[in-house]
């Protein structure tokens, strides 16, 4: 058992407890409120996504609570010990370690402490190939939820390749049933885009809207007039996975991976898929080439095609 497990079991709490961590740090760590306010202001100004702001802030709260002092007052040995424990804790994903390093690096640069930022470890970009659902698994998954709202929610994420943050923030007026498009507003890197609206999913959406009568946000949260929370989407997905009997190590984002892979397998070009996903770089989209099952054509010379069509026309 690591030191983190012994002393701070809250590191293993579910993502929706992150707000509690921030509130705890504001109460228990001297100066934390001022530091995190400045940190969040700067990271938001630079157009980082809402989820990134949340993850980095949580990481800063965690290390501050661990030592009961601001990261500004930490020695290099203390940071190294903390990161070592994070890395060695088998119950924590690599994402915790990554967010801790990136969060600290940004935090120190906010205070012009570049020398401290560059002393943090460099992270290797060991991107794993994404998990992808089969079509049979998707049919079972979408059939699993009892409530129409939950079925439509999961179907919409897959059918349009949405991020969790994107589906949560969707408003009624973002759905264009006439043009069969969905307007994604100011998503990752503060970019907006239009994505396809499935004909089948549009029928389910109409039925859901007629029954639930949402006013502003397409999917309401617990509080009136608030958007659906990330944790609610993740919980819906987990329960559907259990009921469908799917054993893959998947998350809601697996639906987005499946959207891209299946489009590629169905002959849609990589640039169009990139635009639908809202990727900033084509290299990010190209990872799906390693996952998709695409039949490769035999290599031939284009010269042979120059006269083949002529010969066929004369015949």
Whether 41 and 105 share a structural domain? yes
Whether 110 and 141 share a structural domain? no
Domain edge (last residue) among 200, 216, 247:
247
Tell me whether residue 294 is in a domain.
no
Give the structural domain span for 53: 3-118
Whether 89 and 114 share a structural domain? yes
pLDDT at 312 over 90: no
Tell me whether residue 86 is in a domain.
yes
Tell me whether residue 150 is in a domain.
yes
Can you give the CATH number for the domain in which 167 is found? 1.10.443.10
Whether 168 and 239 share a structural domain? yes
Domain edge (last residue) among 224, 247, 270:
247
Task: Please measure the distance between the N-terminal and C-terminal CA atoms of the chain and give it in whole angstroms.
Answer: 78
Whether 164 and 96 share a structural domain? no
Tell me whether residue 260 is in a domain.
no
Q: What is the pLDDT of residues 113-170, one digit of tens each?
A: 888 887 887 766 556 788 999 999 999 999 999 999 999 999 999 999 999 989 999 9
Can you give the CATH number for the domain in which 14 is found? 1.10.150.130
Q: Are 224 and 125 in contact (CB under 8 A)?
A: no
Domain count of the fold of the chain: 2
How far apart CA 113 and CA 285 sit, in angstroms, is 35
Domain edge (last residue) among 247, 278, 307:
247
Task: Spell out the alpha helix ranges (H) of the chain.
Answer: 3-7, 18-28, 32-45, 50-67, 76-88, 94-110, 114-118, 135-143, 148-160, 164-169, 199-212, 230-244, 253-265, 270-277, 282-286, 302-314
* Structure-model confidence comparison of residues 31 and 44, the more confident one: 31
pTM of this prediction? 0.67
Considering only CA atoms, which of 280, 235, 11 is closest in space to residue 145? Answer: 235
Q: Are 2 and 215 in contact (CB under 8 A)?
A: no
How far apart CA 193 and CA 185 sit, in angstroms, is 7
Tell me whether residue 74 is in a domain.
yes
Q: What is the pLDDT of residues 263-304, one digit of tens each?
A: 999 999 999 999 999 988 888 888 888 888 877 666 667 777
Give catalytic residues, as residue numbers. 163, 188, 253, 256, 279, 288
Whether 144 and 89 share a structural domain? no
Tell me whether residue 126 is in a domain.
no
Tell me whether residue 296 is in a domain.
no
Helix (H, G, I), strand (E, B) or coil at 181: strand
Tell me whether residue 264 is in a domain.
no
């Amino acid at each position: 058992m690591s030191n983190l497990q012994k002393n701070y079991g809250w590191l293993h709490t579910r993502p929706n407890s992150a707000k509690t961590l921030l509130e705890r740090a504001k109460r228990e760590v001297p100066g934390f409120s001022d530091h995190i306010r400045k940190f969040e202001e700067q990271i938001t100004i630079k157009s980082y996504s809402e989820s990134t702001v949340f993850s980095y802030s949580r990481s800063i709260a965690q290390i501050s609570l661990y030592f009961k002092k601001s990261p500004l007052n930490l020695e290099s040995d203390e940071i190294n010990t903390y990161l070592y424990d994070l890395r060695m804790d088998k119950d924590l994903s690599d994402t915790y370690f990554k967010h801790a390093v990136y969060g600290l690096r940004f935090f120190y640069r906010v205070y012009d402490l570049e020398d401290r930022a560059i002393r943090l470890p460099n992270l290797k970009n060991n991107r794993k190939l994404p998990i992808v659902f089969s079509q049979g698994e998707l049919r079972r998954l979408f059939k699993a939820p009892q409530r129409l709202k939950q079925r439509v929610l999961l179907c919409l994420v897959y059918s349009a390749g949405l991020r969790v943050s994107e589906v949560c923030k969707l408003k009624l007026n973002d759905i264009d049933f006439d043009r069969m498009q969905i307007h994604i507003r100011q998503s990752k890197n503060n970019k907006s885009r239009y994505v396809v609206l499935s004909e089948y999913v549009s029928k389910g959406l109409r039925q859901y809207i007629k029954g639930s009568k949402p006013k502003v946000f397409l999917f309401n949260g617990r509080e009136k007039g608030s958007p659906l929370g990330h944790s609610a989407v993740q919980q819906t997905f987990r329960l559907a996975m259990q009921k469908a009997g799917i054993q893959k190590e998947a998350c809601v984002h697996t639906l987005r991976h499946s959207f891209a892979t299946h489009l590629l397998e169905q002959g849609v070009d990589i640039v169009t898929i990139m635009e639908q996903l809202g990727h900033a770089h084509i290299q990010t989209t190209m990872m799906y080439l390693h996952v998709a099952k695409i039949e490769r054509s035999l290599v031939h010379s284009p010269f042979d095609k120059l006269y083949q069509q002529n010969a066929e026309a004369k015949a």
